Amino acid sequence: MELESDRGGIAASVKVRKDGKPHQFLTAVTKVSRPERVSITRWQLGMVAAHQECELCHTELSREHAIACSGVMGDMEFARMAAAVPPAERMGKTELDMVINHAAEEMTPECAAVLVRVIDMIEVRCRKRERTEQGFWR
């Protein structure tokens, strides 16, 4: 993983608390479930959109491409959440990063559910992944 360059967009995409502690949604403090935290963290670390080939259109799957190509902005709940982030608090390369960073301090289970749904859309559409009935990716 290239941490030095901004190729994966990690440095520009993950907000770090000033005190250096992990965000609450990453810990057991919140009611966000562990599978949901894993899903959101995978996106943040660039493990979903990792500049591999997009399975849908065969161009490079960057974070920005994942948002545009998967059509997640068509998810009205997510689009509303993205629009609700005040301009001064928009941090991250994409709407998804902005919403995660904005919600990070106190992420509600409702917010996490929408984020996971959006990330799943990207996994399914741009990566052609399928969830098993147990909830694992094939």
Close Cβ partners of 90 (under 8 Å, ≥ 6 residues apart) = 98, 102
> How near is the Cβ of 53 to Zn ion at its closest, in Å?
9
Token pair in block for residue 14: 């993950």
Contact 62, 48 (CB under 8 A): no
Contact 49, 63 (CB under 8 A): yes
Token pair in block for residue 93: 């390369």
Question: Is residue 67 near Zn ion by the rule CB under 5 A?
Answer: no
- The region of 6-14, 36-44, 62-70, 100-108 touching Zn ion under the rule CB under 5 A is 62-70
Selected from 22, 57, 60, 109, the binder of Zn ion by CB under 5 A is 57
Contact 107, 33 (CB under 8 A): no
- The region of 7-15, 53-61, 83-91, 114-122 touching Zn ion under the rule CB under 5 A is 53-61
Residues 92-111 that bind Zn ion (CB under 5 A): none
Question: Is residue 69 near Zn ion by the rule CB under 5 A?
Answer: yes
Residues in the chain: 138
Selected from 40, 48, 54, 96, the binder of Zn ion by CB under 5 A is 54
**Residue from 26, 42, 13 nearest 137 by CA:** 42
- The region of 1-9, 19-27, 68-76, 88-96 touching Zn ion under the rule CB under 5 A is 68-76
> How near is the Cβ of 7 to Zn ion at its closest, in Å?
18
Question: Is residue 56 near Zn ion by the rule CB under 5 A?
Answer: yes
- Using the minimum distance from each CB to Zn ion, give the nearer residue, 14 or 122: 122
Contact 52, 61 (CB under 8 A): yes
> Interface with Zn ion by CB under 5 A: which residues?
54, 56-57, 69
